Amino acid sequence: MRYDKGHKDETRRHILDVASAKFRESGIAAVGLAGIMSEAGLTNGAFYTHFASKEDLVREVLTDALTRREERHEANLENGVALETTIRDYLSARHRDRAGTGCPTAALVAEIARHPKATRDAFTGKVADIIVLMAEQIRHGSAKDRRRKAITIYSIMVGALQLARAVNDKQLSDEILENAVDAAVTIASQR
């Protein structure tokens, strides 16, 4: 059977999108290839046309999802969006409640620490890029100070989102987000 030009790329993109959502919702270890391919409407055998292994898929998902996050940071920077807006958007109840479409760092960071070097290298590179962009949004201080603040703010954001998702008390979860916003915005605005 002949497929239209671009079919293979579209199928690969579809697998990436399905896997990305499933990994973020349930965790990498909990999601099998059969489940991904079933939800994508494809056979298990079709997987190996696009990816060499599950680890290859994980690396591609991370790179893709973090590239999209990076593009949002770049757009914010180009459009003069304040870092405070980025912080508030990230530490929102909406983001907390939609892990499947949210930041892959907050959803997967604990698992990534146990993955092979190549996957961690891909993750590290993308996180470093995001930190650079966040540092560019900070208005005060030397380049070294802005980088230090960006690392601290990103760490607060990721950790607070993870904690807010993990607790089963909505009021406490909301408080975690609100207090993290306050702390991150304070750091961003320090001279």
pLDDT tens digit sequence for 47-87 = 999 999 999 999 999 999 999 999 999 999 899 999 999 99
Q: How far is CA 64 from CA 4, 103, 104, 185, in A?
A: 24, 11, 10, 28
Confidence of residue 3 (pLDDT cuts 50, 70, 90): low
Q: What top-level class would CATH report for the domain 7-189? A: mainly alpha
Residues 6+ apart with CB under 8 A from 191: 140, 141
Phi, psi of 155 (to 5 degrees): -65, -45
Q: Output the pTM of the full model.
A: 0.90
pLDDT value at 7 more than 80: no
pLDDT tens digit sequence for 83-115 = 999 999 999 999 999 999 999 999 999 999 999
pLDDT tens digit sequence for 100-157 = 999 999 999 999 999 999 999 999 999 999 999 999 999 899 999 999 999 999 999 9
**144 burial type by CB count under 10 A (0-12 exposed, 13-18 middle, 19+ buried):** exposed
- Each domain of the chain, given as residue ranges in start order, spans 7-189
Q: How far apart are CA 138 and CA 5, in angstroms?
A: 45
